Structure 1
Amino acid sequence: MHMWYWFGVDLGSFLFPGYNITTVWSLLATCLGLAALAVLYEAMKMFQIHLQEIGRKSVSRTASASSESSSLLSKVTPKNFRTYTRCAICSKWTLQVLHWFLHTTLGYILMMAVMTYNAYFTIALVIGGCFGYLIFGPTIVQLNMQRFYRKQALVTCDKNCADVYTNQQRRESAVSIVAEQLVTEANIEVHVSRDM
């Protein structure tokens, strides 16, 4: 096993026993497969954001449904509907866990391919990762920005709210400065009685 980068064709067994790379064609096919896995790895990042959004929406719906359970409409809602929503949340969470498992396993397989120190594999993985980011990167950035704007939209203020917020920040900073001065100037003496 090499402990430095090398350009070679004869790797012998690769990752799994019985998968031997001894010819140029088998090395080329493995490089193409690794590049495709690197593209898949980038695509799974985008799918993870979609799964998180689905999970966030279902949790917010059940939170609003649980606040409605104290109303008169809760008597009309059948119990099997509530059970169905719990099962749907559970299945969405199971899908997220399964996706995380596959994404992490794929990441470790790609890492093990790099750890062979074969320069061809590393080049193939970097090129595959670049293509994956070229294809899915703008979508990932867009989804993250949408999530940011959605969080920002939750805190909308008018002019009065903005004035109160800036005044509150000024007061908090003034209070924190005074508090820091008091903490540095405080001396505490503790006397413990030994009457036991």
Structure 2
Amino acid sequence: MHMFFWWDYKITDFLFHGLTTTSVGSLFGVCIVVSAMSFLFEVLRYFQAKHRQKELMLRSQQIRTICPTETSTLLTENSQSATRPHIKITRIDRTFLFGTEISLWFSLQNLGYILMLSVMGYNGWVLISAVVGGGVGYFVFGQMFMKINLQNCQIIRDTWCMQKCGEPENYPTSRDGESTPALESSAASRSALDCHEVVTASIHAECHTST
């Protein structure tokens, strides 16, 4: 194992026993594979953010039906068709969302470790190929990735701030000298606390992941 960067085209036992490069062409093929894996890593990060957005939108719709805003409540009361069913996340939905999330996490973790082991061979050409592949992937998906993360935080913010029952009792939301209005009843308080727990958990999960 070389403990310094070297630039020869001969690599012995690259990642697997017996996988050896003996020519410039074989080294070029290894570099292409490493570059593709680095590019794929950025692609998976993008799809992970898209999947998280889908889950947040579904939960946001569910929360809005459970805790409607004042405007939506008045419109519903004045309309003749006031029997809109609640959006429920079924067990199948939960299984699909969780399975997709685990699959993306598993793929990202393993691909990251493989890339790390590839670079730890200290071959300069492999390092350059990994950097180039990741750079191209970030150039293509980086802006969209950040945009989706901002949209996810916006979904959480809108779901939290626009709910009639979105401010639970004794929750410190006052600012600039304004006081938090008291809730009307204990039932509203319980509903607000339920909404607060769901949205707060989403806020911590999303913003910690985004950073």
Deviation at 1:89, TM superposition (A): 1.2
Equivalent position SS for 1:9: coil
Tell me which residue corresponds to 1:165. Answer: 175
Q: Distance in 2 between matches of 1:120 and 1:10?
A: 11
In structure 2, list runs of 5 or more residues that go unmatched: 68-82, 163-173, 180-211
Give 1:107's aligned residue.
Answer: 112
TM-score scaled by length of structure 1:
0.68
Q: What's the counterpart of residue 10 of structure 1?
A: 10
Bigger strand fraction: 1
Check 1:65–1:97 CA distance in 2 against 1; reply closer, same or farther (3 A cut).
farther
Q: How far 1:18 sits from its partner (Å)?
A: 2.8
**Cα RMSD between the aligned structures?**
2.9
Pair 151,91 (structure 1): closer, same or farther in 2 beyond 3 Å:
closer
Task: Measure the CA separation in 2 of the matches of 1:95 and 1:27.
Answer: 35
**Per-residue CA shift, 1:70-96, capped at 9, x if unaligned?**
xxx8xx99xxx97x8211211211111
Q: Distance in 2 between matches of 1:168 and 1:22?
A: 73
**Equivalents in 2 of 1:148, 1:66: separation in Å?**
20
Contact 1:42/1:129 (CA < 8 Å) preserved in 2?
yes
- Please state whether the residue corresponding to 1:49 is helix, strand or coil: helix
Normalised TM-score (structure 2): 0.63
Change (3 A) 1:149 1:88: closer
Deviation digits for residues 141-171 of structure 1 (CA, Å, limit 9, x no counterpart): 2112222333443436xxxxxxx621159xx
Cα distance between partner residues in 2 of 1:147 and 1:109: 29
Counterparts in 2 of 1:87 and 1:61: CA distance versus 1, 3 Å = farther
Q: Once the two structures are aligned, what percentage of the paired residues are identical?
A: 28
1:138 matches 2:134:
no
Give me the whole-angstrom Cα distance separating, in 2, the residues matched to 1:65 and 1:168: 28
What letter matches 2:52 in structure 1?
A: Q
> Are residues 138 and 117 of structure 1, via their aligned partners in 2, closer, same or farther at CA, if it must alter by over 3 Å?
same
Shift of 1:5: 0.6
CA 44–13 in structure 1, closer or farther in 2 if over 3 Å, else same:
same
